[in-house]
Amino acid sequence: DAGVIQSPRHEVTEMGQEVTLRCKPISGHNSLFWYRQTMMRGLELLIYFNNNVPIDDSGMPEDRFSAKMPNASFSTLKIQPSEPRDSAVYFCASSRDSTSGSPLHFGNGTRLTVT
Amino acid sequence: KQEVTQIPAALSVPEGENLVLNCSFTDSAIYNLQWFRQDPGKGLTSLLLIQSSQREQTSGRLNASLDKSSGRSTLYIAASQPGDSATYLCAVVGAAGNKLTFGGGTRVLVKP
């Protein structure tokens, strides 16, 4: 299995631009998570989906952030408009099912820099 | 609100020494605890998962213990090697659902 695939690996954009991050979870995994990692705050859960349905988006920092999962094999995280403080590494992760006993598999992340 | 703490934030040991990494959490009502490894520029790799009913898990040179009542877990890495150099993070799944709360990690350097 190719694992969780994220694109792009790096994204540099100017403040005010729209940014779209993409994720393909492991085939057969029903839960998908978006995390953000910064030096100051560590890893923060932004939102997670079970069977393509958003379950908890309480970690989404502002209305500028939105996430979708149109099908079981694809999810996007969008920031519009982007701001310099959004600069971070964004990780997507998936697990086999919604029970608590499944380990999480992470993608390699998207490093976002907003200038 | 669950809080997960890892101390120390960084650790340097000579090759061959055993590593002991600590993790503490404030709410003992957890479903499981996971240990991850993160290499620079990479995502996290799951190392061990301990269910709340278990006291330890082992995989090769790695052993993780869980003391739920005291809110602690320890990751032991026997006979450390330079390839073990990485950041190690622990995370707990709370009773409320499927969300992992992460500690800040311990950055480990194993010197040859």
- Which residues on chain A are in Cβ contact (under 8 Å) with B44? 91, 93, 104, 106
pLDDT tens-digit map of B24-82: 999 998 989 999 999 988 889 999 999 999 999 999 999 999 999 999 999 999 999 99
- Which residues on chain B are in Cβ contact (under 8 Å) with A103? 34, 46, 49
Q: Which of B66, B109, B110 is nearest to B91 (CA)?
A: B66
| Confidence band of A107 (pLDDT split at 50, 70, 90) | very high
Distances in Å between the Cα of B88 and the Cα atoms of A38, A57, B16, B108 are 16, 26, 18, 7
Cβ contact, residue pair B34, A100, below 8 Å: no
Contact with chain A for residue B55, Cβ under 8 A? no
Cβ contact, residue pair B43, A91, below 8 Å: yes
- Determine the pLDDT at residue B7: 93
| DSSP-derived secondary structure letter, A38 | E
Given a cut of 70, whether residue B103 has pLDDT beyond it is: yes
- Residues B42, A91: Cα–Cα separation, whole Å: 10
Cβ contact, residue pair B99, A31, below 8 Å: no
Given a cut of 80, whether residue B97 has pLDDT beyond it is: no
